[in-house]
């Protein structure tokens, strides 16, 4: 079993209420091989919502309390991101998931790249908050781009 970012199976759960559907991932869910999760919704954030970026590090730094997640209006949404990560981990563990396929560049779901916290579309190497928590609990994480 695996978990996948819900937006990748077609859920309109992105900050702008759009999806990032990838047919192969939708098929995993239809076949009962994957469970979709959206950490930002699980953390209590609305849809649509303000876009957010990690300021001062990446998801591992957020877990360690040395970076924060801030939206583009300056609101600190770190606690919602942490709560969403914990709920996604709970679902992954309950399902016995050993792997996650998550949306690249998201401050929650990114596995290799995130935005740099300046809201200037600048990317940096790093991991989102949920991806980091899953990795710390032994669940492998890769992006949808690895399916190409």
Q: Which residues bind ligand SF4 (CB under 6 A)?
A: 5-7, 13-14, 38-40, 103, 106, 108-109
User: Which is nearer to ligand SF4, 19 or 116 (by Cβ)?
Assistant: 19
Cα gap 3→30, rounded to integer Å: 13
User: Which is nearer to ligand SF4, 7 or 141 (by Cβ)?
Assistant: 7
Q: Using the structure block, give the residue that is written with the tokens 């949404």.
A: 77
Q: How far is the CB of 38 from ligand SF4 (least distance, A)?
A: 3
Q: How far is the CB of 147 from ligand SF4 (least distance, A)?
A: 15
Cα gap 146→105, rounded to integer Å: 13
| Cis status of the peptide bond prior to 81, with omega within 30 of 0 | no
Q: Which tokens sit at 5?
A: 């970012």
Cα gap 133→102, rounded to integer Å: 13
User: Which is nearer to ligand SF4, 6 or 62 (by Cβ)?
Assistant: 6
Q: How far is the CB of 90 from ligand SF4 (least distance, A)?
A: 15
């Amino acid at each position: 079993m695996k978990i996948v970012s819900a937006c990748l199976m077609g859920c309109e759960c992105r900050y702008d209420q759009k999806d990032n559907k990838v047919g192969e991932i939708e098929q995993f869910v239809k076949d009962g091989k994957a469970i979709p999760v959206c950490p930002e919704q699980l953390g209590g954030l609305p849809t649509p919502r303000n876009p957010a970026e990690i300021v001062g590090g990446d998801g591992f730094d957020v877990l360690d309390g040395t970076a924060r997640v801030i939206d583009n209006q300056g609101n600190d949404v770190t606690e919602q991101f942490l709560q969403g990560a914990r709920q996604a981990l709970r679902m992954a563990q309950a399902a016995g998931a050993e792997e996650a396929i998550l949306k690249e560049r998201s401050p929650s779901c990114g596995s290799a790249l995130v935005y740099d916290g300046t809201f200037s579309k600048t990317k940096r190497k790093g991991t989102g908050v949920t991806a980091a928590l899953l990795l710390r609990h032994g669940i492998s994480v890769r992006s949808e781009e690895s399916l190409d």
